[in-house]
């Protein structure tokens, strides 16, 4: 019969239509919120979703996975006395590994000796050129540059970020990437512990060698 | 790791003593053929030795040795390793090499590209015009002595970025805002593109008499560059007799950004995110192709778990690509929005997984030399299992139910000829279009890369070569991909995800490598030449959509203009990959 295939196809569309309402009703009966709730959004982005799958941006937002990356930012640690300590040592690896070369770093020099000191004077990222690849964060040896989750950066002019705009506290990093932060902290602690152990060992050895001739 | 041998054991030098010699440079393979006997040797390669599929033609500019090289890669459609042969000519203009267009019509667009970008003149080519650059452009941008606008340094990283990186905008540095060079006496107001006149001249055959003695006019139509069914900025210049196409020329290059040159400026690792942007639907397979090519050069193994992860992500990529294909095909055929949105649902779920493992939905940048960048966490693995075992098979069946028997669709596609097997091979077509024409040629089986040789799957093939088969083969391929995925998920071992230390500067020994994969659109290959420095000397992409388009003229002539839209949709072109 001509038209059978079309009817069959239409039944698929029809099923979709009803599925949306059936889903709504079942959520209602269970007393749960399908819209404007984290659970509902998660459900709509899961394999069990049957009806409509749209999320009403900007009122509703998809939940970003931790690894999501947009633009990079610089991390500073907050000290107990309230001062900021930058993690960046201006080693320049991020600038070297940046595929579109959008990172510009001015290294600081000690005014007395003229030697470089581990802190950048200026740090620019041309956000319009950045291709969001995440290499800078991946290869940074100090976890000083991290990919942000904030993607709403539309503006009327070019987005050239300087240090003021780029610096964000470590607590923000912990908030958006808890797993990564935890891993980093553990690595840092392990490194520091190893360093301390090594220092203690050399100190012990030194005192040992000092002690041995006298005895 | 199973690395397919770069060249087969055919001894071309013994067959043609004196005119063919093996390429003896360390790290290189294949044969160097004398320019004068190229056609004779190529004929023997095709007819006697059975290398019927010429996949890639490209040039290399060896500026220090003052010579140009044209590289040809030929394969057998019955499978097995390929044969690379080269022609070397002195780097003195005009650089001339005989064209192979009469042996393999599929070299048409690739030879035009080599002429456009490298300035290699292919004698005997009937229509050697620029293809990617604009007509009237001066110079050949892939030559090593050519400098682009805002040229700063030959290779990245640029010295101005660190340690004294005072930011400036590139356009502020130049008083003229850009440093384009124009031909002498060039006046843009009065300039008529020479190529355009040639293009239209080749097509226009104004008034003709039909069989009944009636004089009819033929008209020339520009379809595109801004046409919703050309999938981006693609232009087809057509001569029409009524509704029938009697002549067609594709015009490309609107999205050209000289990807090859950017690649030669970058270091090896920096190219990885750039490959994402080639075929932006399938960034995972683009990464895969580039990664295996450089791994071949570096001669490093891939971590076992990473091999499985690679298969999982690239098969998921294939599924989502084919879903988009079905959606946009229906869009082109007039079924606006509903099928494409249904297709996008599953794609969303797959992209969610990519985002969770790589950080981005489309520009994944997930592969590294020797492995991948991040492991798949357990919760994401559960999601993948749910998709592969429950959601996607049901969805594929639903797509079939929804569309495959639809009478309007069937009458639109069934019996409308695409291309037959013989022509498809001659025109270097690869991928689903070749398999729908009845040639069971799939690189995953014919010349396995990665660990595809461990999986049990069938090469999808259909035999009619009409539009309907081209549509159905995509559904077959989704089913086969699901089979591979089910096996890969089951077998994936634990372990490290990269065999190398994470370093940002890799050491690549001198040599050449031609790495090819079966991307969802056909053969995606990278030809990389290294001279031992941190940057590749030559980086060439052989995109599937670009080469497949060579046959567009052959297929469309004789068809109706309404079918042209469907034919173009079947090639599943992406201009990001076509124009590079």
Tell me if A136 is assigned to some domain. Answer: yes
Question: Within a domain: residue B178?
Answer: no
Cβ contacts of B233 within 8 Å, gap of 6 or more: B224, B225, B226, B254, B255, B575
Kindly state the average pLDDT of the residues A119-135.
Answer: 88
Q: Give residue A174's domain range.
A: 72-192
- Rounded to whole angstroms, how far apart are CA atoms A148 and A163? 15
User: Nearest residue of A to residue B368 by CA position?
Assistant: A135
Record: contact A107-B164, CB cut-off 8 A = yes
Same domain, B225 and B285: no
* Residue of chain A minimizing CA distance to B389: A47
Among B123, B156, B174, the domain boundary falls at: B123
Query: Which residues of chain B lie closer than 8 angstroms to A160, CB-CB?
Result: 167, 169
Nearest-angstrom CA–CA distance, B79 and B521: 19
Task: Examine residue A197 and state whether it is found in any structural domain, yes or no.
Answer: no
Q: Domain end: B123, B147, B169, which one?
A: B123
Whether the link from the prior residue into B163 is cis, omega within 30° of 0, is yes
Q: Do B502 and A139 touch (CB under 8 A)?
A: yes
Q: Which domain holds residue B242?
A: 194-251
In contact, B245 and B128? CB cutoff 8 Å = no
Chain A residues whose CB is inside 8 A of the B266 CB are 99
**Is A177 found in the same domain as A132?**
yes
What is the distance between the terminal CA atoms of chain B, rounded to a whole angstrom?
30
Q: Are residues B290 and B247 in the same domain?
A: no
Q: In this model, does residue A165 exceed pLDDT 90? A: no
A63: closest chain B residue by CA: B352
> Is residue B330 domain-shared with residue B396, that is, in the same domain?
yes
Other CB atoms within 10 A of residue B435 CB: 27
The answer to whether the CB atoms of B402 and A12 lie below 8 A apart is yes
Tell me the chain A residues in contact with residue B360 when contact means C-beta distances shorter than 8 Å. 68-69, 132, 134
pLDDT of residue B4: 45
Picking from B163, B165, B276, the nearest residue to A124 by CB comes out as B165
Same domain, B509 and B418: yes
Mark whether B414 and B479 lie in a shared domain. yes
The C-alpha angle with vertex B249 and arms to B243 and B252, in degrees rounded to 5, equals 125
Looking at the structure of chain A, the number of domains it has is 2
> Which of B169, B270, B407 is the closest to A2 by Cβ?
B407
Q: What is the CATH number of the domain that holds A188?
A: 3.30.70.3270
Distance from CA of B163 to the nearest CA of A (A): 5
CB contact under 8 A, B161 and A105: yes
8 Å CB contact of B387 and A3: no
A78 pairs with which residues across the strands? A84
Instruction: Kindly determine whether residue A133 and residue B273, on different chains, have CB atoms separated by under 8 Å.
Output: yes
From B497's Cα to the closest Cα of chain A, the distance in A is: 15
- For residues A82 and A139, membership in a common domain is answered with yes
Q: Could B365 and A133 be called an inter-chain contact, meaning their C-beta atoms sit closer than 8 Å?
A: yes
Cβ contacts (< 8 Å) between A107 and chain B: which residues?
A: 162-164
Residue A212: inside a domain: no
Rounded to whole angstroms, how far apart are CA atoms B508 and B494? 28
Nearest residue on chain A to B407, alpha-carbon basis: A5
Do residues B486 and B373 both lie within one domain? yes
Identify the bridge partners of residue B324 per DSSP, sorted by sequence position: none
Domain match, B241 and B276 both: no
Q: Tokens for B570, please give them.
A: 């079947």
3-state secondary structure of A143: coil
Q: Do A101 and B355 touch (CB under 8 A)?
A: no
Query: Which residue in B43, B45, B36 sits closest to B18, CA to CA?
Result: B36
- From chain A, the residues in CB contact with B276 under 8 A are 133
Q: Are residues A188 and A120 in the same domain?
A: yes
Asked whether residue B369 falls in the same domain as residue B486, the answer is yes
**Helix (H) / strand (E) containing B473:** helix B467-491
Both A34 and A117 in a single domain? Answer: no
Q: Spell out which residues of chain B touch residue A106, defining contact as CB-CB under 8 Å.
A: 163-166
* CATH code, B418: 1.10.645.10
Q: Are residues A54 and A80 in the same domain?
A: no
pLDDT at B285: 92
Claim to verify: residue A78 and residue A180 sit in the same structural domain = yes
B119 and B198 together in one domain: no
| B507 lies in the same domain as B525 | yes
Q: Chain centroid to CA B517: how far?
A: 10
Q: Given an 8 Å threshold on Cβ–Cβ distance, is B355 in contact with A9?
A: no
Distance from CA of A181 to the nearest CA of B (A): 15
Q: Give the single-character DSSP code of B65.
A: T
Residue B34: give its domain's CATH number: 3.30.460.80
The count of other CB atoms within 10 Å of the CB of residue B102 is: 14
Residue with tokens 């050309």: B230
Residues 6+ apart with CB under 8 A from B312: B376, B384, B485, B488, B489, B492
Cα atoms in the Cβ-side hemisphere of radius 13 Å centred on B64: 2
**Spatial separation of the C-alpha atoms in residues B567 and B580, rounded to whole Å:** 22
Give the closest of B270, B352, B359 to A134, CB-based.
Answer: B359
What is the distance in angstroms between the Cα of B284 and the nearest Cα belonging to chain A? 13
The answer to whether the CB of B27 falls within 8 A of the CB of B511 is: yes
Asked whether residue A98 falls in the same domain as residue A147, the answer is: yes
Q: How far is B403 from chain A (nearest CA, A)?
A: 6
The residue out of A63, A80, A114 marking a domain boundary is: A63
In a domain, A202, yes or no: no
Of A4, A45, A103, which has the smallest distance from its Cβ to B352's Cβ?
A45
Q: Considering only the beta carbons, identify the residue of B356, B407, B409 that sits closest to A67.
A: B356
Q: Which pLDDT score, from 0 to 100, does residue B480 have?
A: 92
Reported pTM: 0.88
Report whether B491 contacts B305 (CB < 8 A): no
Whether residue B125 contacts residue B112, with contact meaning beta carbons closer than 8 Å, is answered with: yes
Residue B293: C-alpha distances to residues A103, B4, B6, B32, B81 (Å): 29, 11, 11, 22, 15
Of A6, A69, A96, the CB nearest to B408: A6
Report CB contact under 8 Å: A139, B504: yes
Domain end (from A28, A46, A63): A63
- A61-120 pLDDT tens trace: 888 888 899 899 999 888 888 788 888 888 888 888 999 889 988 888 878 887 888 888
Verify whether the Cβ–Cβ distance B359 to A104 is below 8 Å: no
Does A76 reside within a domain? yes
Flag if B169 and A8 touch (Cβ within 8 Å).
Answer: no
Ramachandran angles phi, psi of B112, nearest 5°: -65, -35
Spatial neighbors of A84 by CB under 8 A, at least 6 apart, are A76, A77, A78, A167, A169
Distance from CA of B492 to the nearest CA of A (A): 22
Find the closest chain B residue to A119 by CA distance. Answer: B163
Contact check, Cβ <8 Å, A131/B273: yes
Nearest chain B Cα distance for residue A80, angstroms = 31
- Tell whether A184 and A81 lie within a shared domain: yes
Which of A20, A43, A63 is where one domain is finished?
A63
Q: How many CB pairs under 8 A join A and B?
A: 144
Q: Are A143 and A119 members of one domain?
A: yes
B161 → closest Cβ in A69, A95, A131: A95
Question: B366 and B481: one domain?
Answer: yes
Structure tokens belonging to residue B366: 């997930």
Please indicate, yes or no, whether residues A105 and A163 belong to a single structural domain of this protein: yes
With respect to residue A140, please indicate whether it lies within any of the assigned structural domains: yes
CB distance A106–B163 less than 8 Å?
A: yes
Q: Total structural domains in chain B?
A: 3
Boundary of a domain, candidates B229, B251, B273: B251
Closest partner residue to B163 (CB to CB) among A46, A105, A158 is A105
The answer to whether the beta carbons of residues B324 and B347 sit under 8 Å apart is yes
Is position A87 within any domain?
Answer: yes
Asked whether residue B159 is domain-assigned, the answer is: no
* Same domain for A109 and A32: no
pLDDT at B232: 80
Assess whether A119 and A54 both reside in one domain. no
Q: Which residue of A has its CA nearest to B359?
A: A68
Q: Classify residue B169: in a domain, yes or no.
A: no
Whether A145 is covered by a domain: the verdict is: yes
Pairing of strands B522-530, B511-519: antiparallel
Render each residue's pLDDT in chain B as its tens digit; 580 residues.
444 444 446 778 778 888 888 888 888 888 889 888 888 888 888 888 888 889 999 999 988 888 899 999 999 888 888 888 999 999 887 888 999 898 899 898 999 999 989 889 998 888 888 888 887 777 888 888 888 777 778 888 888 888 888 888 777 766 555 556 666 777 767 776 666 666 666 665 556 666 777 777 778 888 878 887 777 888 888 888 888 888 888 888 888 988 999 899 889 999 999 999 998 899 999 999 999 999 999 889 999 999 999 999 999 999 999 999 998 888 888 878 888 888 888 888 999 999 999 988 899 999 999 889 988 988 899 989 988 998 899 888 888 888 888 888 888 888 888 888 888 999 999 989 999 998 999 998 888 888 998 998 999 899 888 889 999 999 999 999 999 999 999 999 988 888 888 888 888 888 999 999 999 998 999 999 998 888 999 999 999 989 999 999 888 888 888 888 888 888 888 888 888 8
Interface test with B, best of A43, A63, A101 (most B CBs within 10 A): A101
R_g over Cα of chain B: 24
Q: Are residues B325 and B241 in the same domain?
A: no
Between vectors from CA B382 to CA B377 and to CA B386, what angle results, nearest 5°?
150
């Amino acid at each position: 019969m001509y038209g059978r295939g079309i009817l069959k196809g239409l039944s698929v569309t029809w099923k979709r239509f009803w599925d949306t309402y059936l889903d709504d009703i079942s959520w209602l009966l269970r007393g749960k919120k399908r819209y404007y709730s984290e659970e509902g959004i998660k459900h709509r982005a899961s394999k069990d979703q049957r009806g409509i799958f749209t999320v009403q941006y900007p009122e509703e937002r998809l939940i970003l996975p931790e690894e999501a990356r947009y633009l990079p930012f610089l991390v500073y640690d907050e000290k107990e006395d309230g001062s900021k300590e930058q993690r960046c040592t201006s080693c320049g690896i991020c600038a070297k590994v940046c595929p579109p070369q959008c990172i510009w770093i001015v290294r600081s020099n000690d005014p007395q000796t003229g030697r470089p000191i581990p802190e950048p004077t200026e740090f620019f990222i041309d956000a319009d050129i950045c291709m969001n690849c995440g290499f800078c964060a991946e290869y940074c040896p100090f976890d000083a540059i991290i990919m942000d989750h904030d993607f709403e950066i539309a503006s009327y002019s070019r987005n050239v970020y300087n240090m003021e705009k780029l610096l964000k506290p470590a607590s923000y990093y912990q908030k958006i990437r808890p797993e990564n932060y935890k891993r980093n902290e553990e690595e840092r602690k392990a490194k520091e512990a190893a360093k301390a152990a090594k220092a203690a060992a050399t100190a012990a050895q030194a005192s040992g060698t000092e002690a041995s001739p006298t005895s | 790791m199973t690395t397919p041998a770069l060249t087969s054991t055919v001894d071309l030098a013994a067959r043609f003593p004196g005119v063919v010699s093996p390429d003896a440079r360390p790290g290189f393979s294949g044969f160097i053929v004398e320019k004068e006997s190229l056609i004779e040797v190529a004929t023997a390669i095709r007819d006697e030795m059975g290398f019927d599929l010429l996949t890639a033609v490209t040039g290399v500019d060896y500026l220090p040795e003052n010579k140009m090289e044209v590289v040809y890669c030929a394969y057998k459609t019955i499978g097995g390793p390929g044969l690379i042969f080269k022609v070397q000519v002195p780097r003195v203009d005009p650089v001339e090499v005989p064209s192979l267009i009469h042996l393999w019509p599929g070299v048409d667009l690739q030879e035009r590209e080599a002429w456009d970008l490298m300035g290699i003149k292919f004698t005997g080519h009937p229509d050697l015009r620029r293809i990617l650059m604009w007509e009237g452009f001066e110079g050949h941008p892939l030559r090593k002595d050519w400098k682009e606008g805002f040229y700063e340094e030959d290779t990245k990283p640029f010295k101005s970025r660190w340690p004294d990186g005072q930011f400036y905008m590139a356009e502020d540095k130049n008083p003229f805002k850009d440093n384009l060079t124009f031909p002498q006496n060039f006046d843009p107001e009065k300039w008529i593109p020479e190529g355009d006149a040639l293009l239209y001249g080749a097509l226009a055959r104004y008034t003709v008499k039909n069989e009944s003695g009636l004089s009819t006019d033929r008209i020339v139509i520009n379809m595109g560059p801004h046409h919703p069914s050309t999938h981006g900025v693609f232009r087809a210049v057509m001569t029409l007799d009524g509704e029938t196409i009697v002549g067609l020329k594709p015009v490309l290059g609107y999205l050209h950004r000289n990807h090859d040159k950017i690649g030669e400026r970058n270091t090896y690792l920096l190219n990885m995110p750039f490959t994402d942007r080639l075929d932006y639907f399938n960034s995972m397979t683009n990464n895969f192709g580039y990664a295996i090519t450089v791994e071949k050069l570096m001669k490093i193994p891939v971590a076992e778990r990473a091999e499985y992860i690679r298969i999982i992500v690239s098969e998921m990529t294939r599924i989502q690509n084919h879903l988009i294909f079905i959606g946009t095909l229906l869009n082109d055929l007039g079924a606006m929005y509903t099928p494409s949105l249904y297709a996008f649902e599953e794609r969303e779920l797959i992209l969610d997984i990519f985002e969770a493992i790589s950080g981005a939905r489309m520009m994944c940048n997930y592969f590294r030399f020797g492995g991948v960048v991040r492991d798949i966490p357990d919760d994401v693995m559960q999601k993948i299992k749910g998709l592969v075992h429950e959601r996607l098979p049901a969805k594929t069946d639903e797509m079939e139910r929804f569309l495959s028997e639809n009478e309007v669709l069937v009458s639109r596609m069934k019996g409308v000829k695409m291309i037959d097997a013989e022509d498809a091979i001659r025109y270097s077509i690869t991928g689903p279009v070749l398999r729908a024409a009845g040639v069971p040629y799939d690189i995953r089986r014919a010349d396995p890369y990665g660990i595809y040789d461990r999986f049990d799957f069938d090469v999808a093939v259909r035999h009619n070569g009409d539009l309907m088969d081209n549509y159905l083969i995509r559904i077959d391929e989704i089913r086969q991909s699901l089979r591979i995925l089910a096996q890969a998920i089951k077998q994936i071992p634990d372990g490290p995800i990269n065999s190398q230390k994470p370093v940002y500067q890799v050491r690549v020994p001198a040599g050449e490598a031609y790495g090819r994969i079966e991307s969802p659109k056909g053969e995606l290959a990278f030809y990389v030449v290294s001279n031992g420095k941190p940057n590749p000397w030559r980086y060439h992409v052989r995109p599937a959509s670009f080469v497949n388009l060579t046959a567009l003229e052959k297929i469309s002539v004789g068809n109706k203009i309404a079918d042209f839209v469907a034919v173009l949709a079947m090639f599943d072109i992406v201009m990001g990959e076509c124009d590079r």
